[in-house]
Structure 1
Amino acid sequence: MQELTSDRQASVWLLSDTHLIADSLHDDGSAFQRMKDTSAGKDLVYQELALKAFVRKVVAAKPTAVVITGDLTFNGAKASAEKLAEIFKPLTDQQIAFLVLPGNHDIYDGWARKFSGATEIRVDEISQEAWKEIFADSYQVAYHQDSSSLAYSVNLNQDYRLIMADSNIYGDRYSLTHPITNGRIPSAELAWIENELKDAQRQQKHVLFFMHHNLYQHNDVVHGGYVLDNAEEVQALFKKYQVQAVFSGHIHAPNITGPEKNCPSVEVASSCFAMTDQGYGVISLTPSELTYQHYSFDAMPCLTDEEKEKIPAADFRTYLRAVFNESNEKMLAKSVNRFATPHDLQLAQQLINRLHWNFFTGHSFYSAEQKAEFFHSPGYQVLTTAMPELKNYLQSLLDVDQDSQQVKIQFND
């Protein structure tokens, strides 16, 4: 039986939503600027550089595997997927497995474009067949592959089976429209997954389950299109086979939740690597225990002096925070007339910047005292007076009830 390692103290590095658009597909023209204006806080300009720096860190650390849980590309351009595979090639050269699964932006995305001056030019999309060719290194180490989807399984070592699910709903084979946000695991793939779970039980392997969409609701307000359309069906399957560890992306905020009453799974939703603190996770495994720890990536120590000169700020983290805050400012700018004074707008902006940064970096597990501080702050009072419709949303950012930086799972026998 093919296993990635004989080491029973294995480690898997986890990231999600890299949203890479290859440098060859854009310039500094007005068309790309319009796209950047709608990117919701993501960096679209320097991700090739950031990913190269991350790969250098991985190669130095030598984990057993690196997993990306979908949305590898920004707009489904085939050239971007090919560039990402090229960037991560040093991993397999160093016997570090590189395991990917698609997200809703990757396959048949009708937004696949090249940006040149004021013009958007349609470019090749990624088909399911092309995906498996581009990321052949992932499928070459598969134990089993699902013939109905892009799902596959990998035996990490003698103790663990990884199931890499395909939770996406694909449109036309050559799409002319936006990608489909929501996801589900169709019946044929679900039957394949059940066979994998049975097989893992026979071989006495614990299962780590990876997909792009979420098993659980990670925010009380923002969850439509993020949670699987057939989440209850999948949760029932996980209860039947006692799947304890699930990893996903899509929501762009690191958040850990579960187990729930009707499902034994703990779900770790990863952050978006193209924004905020470029978060990633490290899964450390012993034969009977999993420890997950979230980290913030600092690209600067992994860049050459020449590469550092390309960053338009004191350091990359400063630049990423500025990009993120700019997206918050654009959100409130649409309602500037609802604030009595520029100072009120500034107070509201500072509150939104703080709440959003904490939520999208996984630091929203507040104490009662910290929540009271937010509710009584001038920024909260001003914002909810000017925009009372935001009260439920703001509450949802404060209602995180579990540490999203780390978790430990003791596996059942």
Structure 2
Amino acid sequence: MKKFYLILLSAMLLSGCTSEKPVVEKPETIRFYVTSDTHLYNPEIVENKELFDDLALNQGDGRLLNYAPEIFNAFIDEVIKTKPEFVLFTGDISLEGEKTSHQWIAKQLSRLIDNGIQPLVIPGNHDIMNPSSRTYGNPSSYINTVSAEEFASIYSDCGYSNALYRDENSLSYVYELRDNAWILMLDTARYEENTVLGSEGTGSIRSETYDWIEEIAEIAKEKNVQLISSTHHNIIKQNEYFSSDNTLLNTLKALRIFDERDIRVNFSGHIHAQNINTKEKENGVITDICSSSLLVYPSQYGIVDYVPFKELNYSTKAIDISTWASQNNNDPNLLDFPEYSYNYFKQSSTSRGASRFKSSSHTAEEIAQLLDAKGTLNCYYFAGRILEIKDSFMASDFYSWLIEQDETTSGYILSMLKTNGLDPNKITIDMSK
């Protein structure tokens, strides 16, 4: 058996004690929250806010980078108020892996710990050894990023120091949710392959880590413990139009081992879109629940109620940022956050890829309709709410015209209308099978 970093918990008897400390039994249901792709930064690296705000909007992916610290603080306050036991952060915690940003984030997460809530983190492709780590000013300057060892040290209290087991070949670890339920927090980032040109966006599980998963699963079986897992990259493709690079490069191996070892539920992120997909395997169904980015409309997070060996219920909730703003900074954009974030995401995502339509032979009116449809559907698709408008959109004259167009014009828009029959924001999973 390979070397493990086993955290042994021992009871110490104090001399002179005449009574034992009462044991507080935990409830059967484990409640935890899930969020992903927070892309946070230390506000101090933004030396020119006007320039940064313009840069954020021009990214074209709809992330509200200009309000990232405020959105995150509103989330932390909401978590403290509602008190889950754990909060999963499934990677891309930082904007571009700045060391100062990781330190700032860890400080914010300490507020959860101080309130008895355990954050559990894993890295994403932006977080470690990122050559794009820099300040945002005129001019900008490159600043220190972090190594894998530094990442684990900075987030020591967020899963690493109190892990049950750690993988010596990656930043993967096992955390005990209950004595009969463990979560595999799996490192899928390929930061060793980053170059001066940028960070490697694809993900995989290392060969040695698969061996480690097999050994953990064997221990779990012996102890009658149920395993669930979390990754940054998807283990099941969530949208046929999205690049397969968003899914683990060795996903077939992951699904085979998960199936053989009875790991039935995984939480992922990376694509910034809310979705749920399943895969029927030889021994049962595997479910990959993909969380949208916390910075993308409608800035929501997952709520999980899990009873080991019985049932897992998942739903989503948007952060009440408007109420938070009324109590903290009265920023007009945040006071009317649902409308502001919707319009921001629509504007930003409409501009991305617009050249595809403009280079075609379509009229100005047709291009305007294509861009509007793209922006509107993006808002609903990435929020996991496409079912709300799918029927009305498909009944429109524009849809009748769209389906007659070539793949370049219609492909992406039509892909957002294809569903797998699952509600992207809600699922109940029978964990007894």
Label 1:313 to 1:301 Cα distance change in 2 as closer, same or farther (>3 A): closer
Q: Is residue 423 of structure 2 the alignment partner of residue 403 of structure 1?
A: yes
String of CA shifts for 1:168-205, please: whole Å, max 9, x gaps.
Answer: 112368x5221111111011111111111111111111
Q: Distance in 1 between matches of 2:334 and 2:403?
A: 33
On the 8 A contact 1:350/1:379 being kept in 2, the answer is no
Label 1:387 to 1:21 Cα distance change in 2 as closer, same or farther (>3 A): farther
Query: Following TM superposition, by how much is the alpha carbon of 1:278 offset from its aligned partner in structure 2, in angstroms?
Result: 0.7
Q: 1:45 aligns with which of 59, 66, 72?
A: 66
Indicate the larger mover: 390-399 or 177-186. Answer: 390-399
On the 8 A contact 1:298/1:317 being kept in 2, the answer is no
Q: Distance in 1 between matches of 2:56 and 2:361?
A: 28
Matches within 5 A, 1:253-292: 253-262=273-282, 264-287=285-308, 288-292=310-314
Q: Distance in 1 between matches of 2:104 and 2:252?
A: 37
Query: Following TM superposition, by how much is the alpha carbon of 1:131 offset from its aligned partner in structure 2, in angstroms?
Result: 0.4
On the 8 A contact 2:60/2:352 being kept in 1, the answer is no
Q: 1:389 aligns with which of 374, 397, 408?
A: 408
Query: Following TM superposition, by how much is the alpha carbon of 1:236 offset from its aligned partner in structure 2, in angstroms?
Result: 0.7
Q: 2:315 aligns with which of 290, 293, 313?
A: 293
SS in 1 for 2:75: helix
Matches within 5 A, 1:10-409: 10-26=30-46, 27-30=48-51, 33-34=54-55, 36-117=57-138, 119-137=139-157, 138-171=159-192, 175-262=195-282, 264-287=285-308, 288-303=310-325, 305-309=327-331, 311-312=332-333, 314-331=335-352, 333-334=354-355, 335-336=357-358, 338=360, 341-365=363-387, 371=390, 373-380=392-399, 388-401=407-420, 402-409=422-429
Amino acid at match of 2:393: F
Query: TM-score when scaled to structure 1?
Result: 0.91
Query: TM-score when scaled to structure 2?
Result: 0.87
Q: Distance in 2 between matches of 1:338 and 1:296?
A: 38
Indicate the larger mover: 93-102 or 330-339. Answer: 330-339
String of CA shifts for 1:250-277, please: whole Å, max 9, x gaps.
Answer: 1111111113244631110110111110
On the 8 A contact 1:253/1:270 being kept in 2, the answer is yes
Label 1:346 to 1:362 Cα distance change in 2 as closer, same or farther (>3 A): same
Amino acid at match of 1:285: Y
Query: Following TM superposition, by how much is the alpha carbon of 1:372 offset from its aligned partner in structure 2, in angstroms?
Result: 5.8
On the 8 A contact 1:54/1:302 being kept in 2, the answer is no
Label 1:399 to 1:201 Cα distance change in 2 as closer, same or farther (>3 A): same
Question: How many residue pairs were aligned?
Answer: 407
On the 8 A contact 2:184/2:227 being kept in 1, the answer is yes
- Structure 1 stretches lacking a partner, 5+ long: none
Query: Following TM superposition, by how much is the alpha carbon of 1:230 offset from its aligned partner in structure 2, in angstroms?
Result: 0.6
Q: Distance in 2 between matches of 1:92 and 1:116?
A: 33
Q: Distance in 1 between matches of 2:227 and 2:419?
A: 26
Label 1:313 to 1:306 Cα distance change in 2 as closer, same or farther (>3 A): closer
Indicate the larger mover: 320-329 or 229-238. Answer: 320-329
Query: Following TM superposition, by how much is the alpha carbon of 1:412 offset from its aligned partner in structure 2, in angstroms?
Result: 2.8
Percent identity between the two aligned chains: 25
On the 8 A contact 2:56/2:64 being kept in 1, the answer is no
